[in-house]
Amino acid sequence: MAKTWLITGTSTGFGRLLTEQLLERGDRVIASLRRDGPLDDLLAQHGERLQVINFDVTDTRAMQEAVTQAFAKAGHIDVVVSNAGYGVFGAAEEATDEQIERQITTNLTGSIQFIRAVLPHLRRQGGGRIVQVSSEGGQIAYPCFSLYHASKWGIEGFVESVAQEVSPWNIDFILAEPGPTATSFAASLDQTAPMALYEDTPVGEFRRALASGEFTIKGDALKTVNAIIDAADMATPPLRLALGSTAYDSIHHALEQRMSELEANKALTLSADKDEFIE
């Protein structure tokens, strides 16, 4: 049976590919864009199965109004995909206040407000599924991506909490966590102005690795999108879905390190309890 999807950030990258694949298999898509144009070819090809709505996730009021109209027109939306995103690249100290604000407003506040906007509609219709496009960077960290990681670690904590809050209404979540993937994301990164003192640090090393191609990008964008669709079709999907071998390896290593550190400091950790609870 055909499903109806509401997807943000559909002009390029995962959002565009997701829209294409879903339309190709016969689903209906309500795609959000900040401006008209990027999906005109798909509108001509698929007609009424594709609807385009215009809003920027950083404009909460406009976004809320567009979401209300989308649900009213569609009647029922099966899957909501929070995909709109942005990335600042560079050392935290190098970033401008404007870059920091845009990073957090787009990836974190924008995603939070979008999810908040769809929840009442999903509850009224008897449930639904929300896919939050996160990143391996929601569980691990690279130098040069501190602000991006702040937004992704933040949205993962938000989603894990909200998933518990709304589970009684048959609303569930998937945190899609792609590793480095061949999309336009790297080319569209907002670069900070480099400070010379970081040249011979992990910041400079990572900059050079990314610029030279030494940093290997293994992820295939189309396969990643198809895996997200497969997960969204599951009766009981995972809360977190790592995507790609880099994501699997890096998250696995990070979790092992955290467990090792937790166990190594167990005695000191437990010493913080009240005396009556210490064995």
Does the annotation mark 274 as catalytic?
no
Q: Per residue in 203-260, pLDDT tens? A: 999 999 988 888 888 999 999 999 999 999 999 999 999 999 999 999 999 999 999 9
Q: Per residue in 28-66, pLDDT tens? A: 999 999 888 889 999 999 989 999 999 999 999 999 999
Q: Per residue in 87-142, pLDDT tens? A: 999 999 999 999 999 999 999 999 999 999 999 999 999 999 999 999 999 999 99
Does the annotation mark 142 as catalytic?
no
Amino acid at 233: D
Mean pLDDT of the chain: 94
Question: Domains plus CATH for the chain?
Answer: 4-245 (3.40.50.720)
Q: Give the percent of the chain with pLDDT over 90.
A: 86
CA–CA distance, 83 with 102 (Å, rounded to integer) = 16
Does the annotation mark 82 as catalytic?
no
Active-site hit among 82, 148, 198, 250? 148
Active-site hit among 134, 146, 151, 250? 134
Does the annotation mark 271 as catalytic?
no
Active-site hit among 111, 135, 152, 198? 152
Report whether 16 contacts 40 (CB < 8 A).
no
Q: Is 149 helix (H, G, I), strand (E, B) or coil?
A: helix
Tokens standing for residue 70: 């989308």
Tokens standing for residue 203: 């910041």
The listed range with the strongest mean pLDDT (180-194, 211-225, 256-270) is: 256-270
- End-to-end CA gap in the chain: 57
